Amino acid sequence: MNEAIIAAARFGYGAGPNGSNAGTNPRQWLKAQLARPARPPALDGLPSSAEQAVAIFELRKERQQAKQAGELADAKQEMSPERMEQRQRYLAEIAARLSAATDSETPLIERLSIFWANHFTVSGVRPIVRPLVGSFEREAIRPHVTGKFEEMVLAVVRHPAMGLYLDNAVSVGPNSRVGARRDRGLNENLGRELLELHTLGVDGGYTEEDVRALARILTGWSIGRLKDPDPGHFHFYEPIHEPGPKTLLGHTYPENGEGEGLAAIHDICRHPSTARHIATKLARHFIADQPPPGAVEKLAASFRESDGDLRHVTETLIDLPEAWSLYQQKVKTPWDLVVSAAVATGSALPVQQAAGWLNRLGQPVFMAPQPSGWPDDAASWVGPEAVLRRVEWCQSFADRFQDQVDPLMLANYAIGDSLSPDAHQAAERAESRSAALALLLASPAFQRR
């Protein structure tokens, strides 16, 4: 099997009509991308989280004032253009994300960005978070995909999107100045997911006490409001921070305000369970649903030894023999499928349609159903209805983009030897270009990576 094709499909979105850039040294090609993780130009000019968060606060304020003034009916009517604008912004974010993926010179960086954004899911299923999901990926995820894991965790936890999504922005220490006065209290959501999903993993050896301790440690980590000097940005509110020492995973953190959280995050990122959890997820994403234990162990060791240096860990992943020998073990998610079909045919995706396709294929952009993100195993994506939808989609896509490429050439540069002789023959014999392209895109060899 051609390693350039494997490199392009496993660690990117596959090869396009001009072939893959992987060349004669695919591993080198991949590692070189880690050395220059360029920011895709498609992401320029989109609003920042802070701007969006300020807009949310201002809107709330206006509505409150309108309500107090008894003008709610009018205020409601005025929501409509606001909603339309939000929809436009949401589509602009989807367009940028799609272009960043399809046009990338460093597709591995794109794949890593999607992987880590899914690991640290914030989802637009909570309407208040929706305007922030794109900027979350740009601000908290992308700058760190080849950096230190700890820095990514910090950026994530401090980001307003995560603060709103997992409620930490409104979590109040029960014994804090504000908490003692008012009937508001602790929200464990972020504390729990930070341990269960983002670092140690569900079997990582923590207790319910640890969840509550971390939640208490993180009280006060919130978002600057309109009256604050830094509206829309991360803001530590001493008045809601739970006072006193906290014991997390057997270690006692003395009272130190914001510093408690910094120290706790530093420590949980270095917990051996975190290395294993991240290693397992990376291997599951890039190699196989049931990753080989040896591969996981090597990744975990790399994570531990490098102090969570993600560039180093990714290089270890690239050098794993299993990453190359276990080709075609993974089924593409709908996102991977749509993007890789666009890349394979050299097509520019029409954004509104692409968003509709992904809805119908079961993976609406920025809308993961839960904090655990989109599933990363074939069984979740290959149900009876889902497979029909996929075949259907391949046909619709092929109808539209049939003129972009010669299907048999696509079979060579994008799929290669993993295409079964049956499928190749069916493509040769197909009654039209569109039929040939549809069956190639639907073929197991293209659906898998």
Partner 1 sequence: MMIDLACPDRRTALRLLGAAGLVAAFPRIAFADQPSDNRLVVIIQRGALDGLAAVPPYGDKHYQERRASLALPMPGEADGILKLDGMFGLHPALAPIRPLWDAGELLIVPATSGGYHTRSHFDAQDLLETGFTERHGEAAGWLNRALFELQPKGSTRRLGLALGASTPLMLRGTVPVASWEPPNMKPAAPALLAIMTKLYAADPLFGPALADGIKAQNLSDEVLGTDMGDMAGKGAGAGAFRAMAEAAGGLLASKDGPRIAVMDIGGWDTHVGQGTVKGRLGNNLAGFAAGLDRLHAALGDAWKKTVVVCVTEFGRTVAPNGTGGTDHGTASVTMLLGGAVRGGKVAGDWPGLEQLAENRDLRAATDQRAVLKAVLRDHLGLAGDRIDAAVFPGSGVRPMGGLVRA
Residue type, 406: D
- Backbone phi, then psi, for 100, in 5-degree steps? -55, -40
Distance CA 144, CA 149 (A): 7
Stretches 141-149, 169-177, 226-234, 387-395: which one binds partner 1 (CB under 8 A)? 387-395
* Residue 284 interacting with partner 1 (CB under 8 A): no
Determine how many CB atoms are found less than 10 A away from the CB of residue 280. Answer: 17
What binding mask, one character per residue, do residues 154-173 give for partner 1 by CB under 8 A, x or -?
--------------------
Of the candidates 125, 24, 87, 102, the one whose C-alpha atom is nearest the C-alpha of residue 343 is 102
Q: Which one of residues 205, 259, 272, 356 is an interface residue with partner 1 (CB under 8 A)? A: 356
* Residue 92 interacting with partner 1 (CB under 8 A): no
70: left (phi over 0), alpha (psi -120 to 50) or beta: left
* Residue 421 interacting with partner 1 (CB under 8 A): no
* Residue 403 interacting with partner 1 (CB under 8 A): yes
Stretches 14-22, 197-205, 300-308, 397-405: which one binds partner 1 (CB under 8 A)? 397-405
Q: Are 138 and 156 in contact (CB under 8 A)?
A: no
Q: Tell me the closest approach of the beta carbon of residue 386 to partner 1, in angstroms.
A: 7
* Residue 269 interacting with partner 1 (CB under 8 A): no
Q: Tell me the closest approach of the beta carbon of residue 305 to partner 1, in angstroms.
A: 36
- Strands 221-223 and 234-236, sheet pairing: antiparallel
Give the E-state strand segments of 110-243 in sequence order.
Answer: 221-223, 234-236
* Residue 213 interacting with partner 1 (CB under 8 A): no
Which residue matches tokens 């993100």?
373
Q: Are 430 and 440 in contact (CB under 8 A)?
A: no
Q: Tell me the closest approach of the beta carbon of residue 420 to partner 1, in angstroms.
A: 7
Shorter beta-carbon distance to partner 1: residue 189 or 395:
395
Q: Which one of residues 120, 303, 357, 413 is an interface residue with partner 1 (CB under 8 A)? A: 357
* Residue 290 interacting with partner 1 (CB under 8 A): no
Stretches 12-20, 48-56, 184-192, 438-446: which one binds partner 1 (CB under 8 A)? 438-446
H helices, E strands: number in the chain: 25, 4
Q: Which one of residues 78, 353, 369, 417 is an interface residue with partner 1 (CB under 8 A)? A: 353
Stretches 22-30, 35-43, 211-219, 383-391: which one binds partner 1 (CB under 8 A)? 383-391
Secondary structure of residue 309 in the 3-state scheme: strand
Q: Which two tokens stand for residue 393?
A: 């989609």
Stretches 2-10, 51-59, 255-263, 398-406: which one binds partner 1 (CB under 8 A)? 398-406
* Residue 429 interacting with partner 1 (CB under 8 A): yes
Q: Which one of residues 401, 405, 410, 413 is an interface residue with partner 1 (CB under 8 A)? A: 401
Q: Which one of residues 33, 224, 436, 449 is an interface residue with partner 1 (CB under 8 A)? A: 436
Shorter beta-carbon distance to partner 1: residue 92 or 263:
92
What binding mask, one character per residue, do residues 297-336 give for partner 1 by CB under 8 A, x or -?
----------------------------------x-----
Element (H, E) at 219: none
Which residue matches tokens 């010669």?
406
What does each C-alpha distance from 363 to 99, 357, 389, 390 come to in angstroms?
Answer: 17, 9, 12, 12
* Residue 386 interacting with partner 1 (CB under 8 A): yes
β-sheet bridge partners, residue 247: 252
* Residue 385 interacting with partner 1 (CB under 8 A): yes
* Residue 443 interacting with partner 1 (CB under 8 A): yes
Return the CA Rg of the chain.
23
* Residue 414 interacting with partner 1 (CB under 8 A): no
Specify the DSSP class assigned to residue 78: T
Shorter beta-carbon distance to partner 1: residue 165 or 381:
381
Distance CA 449, CA 330 (A): 5
* Residue 396 interacting with partner 1 (CB under 8 A): yes
Q: Tell me the closest approach of the beta carbon of residue 363 to partner 1, in angstroms.
A: 15
Distance CA 318, CA 286 (A): 9
Q: Tell me the closest approach of the beta carbon of residue 412 to partner 1, in angstroms.
A: 15
Taking each helix axis from N to C end, the angle separating 310-319 and 272-286, rounded to the nearest 10 degrees, works out to: 50
Instruction: Compute the C-alpha angle 325/328/333, nearest 5°.
Output: 135
Classify residue 348 as exposed, middle or buried by CB count within 10 Å of its CB (0-12, 13-18, 19+): middle
Q: Which one of residues 205, 239, 245, 444 is an interface residue with partner 1 (CB under 8 A)? A: 444
Where on the chain is the footprint of partner 1 (CB under 8 A)? Answer: 331, 353, 356-357, 360, 378-379, 382-389, 391-393, 395-396, 399-403, 406, 420, 422-423, 426, 429-436, 438-439, 442-444, 447
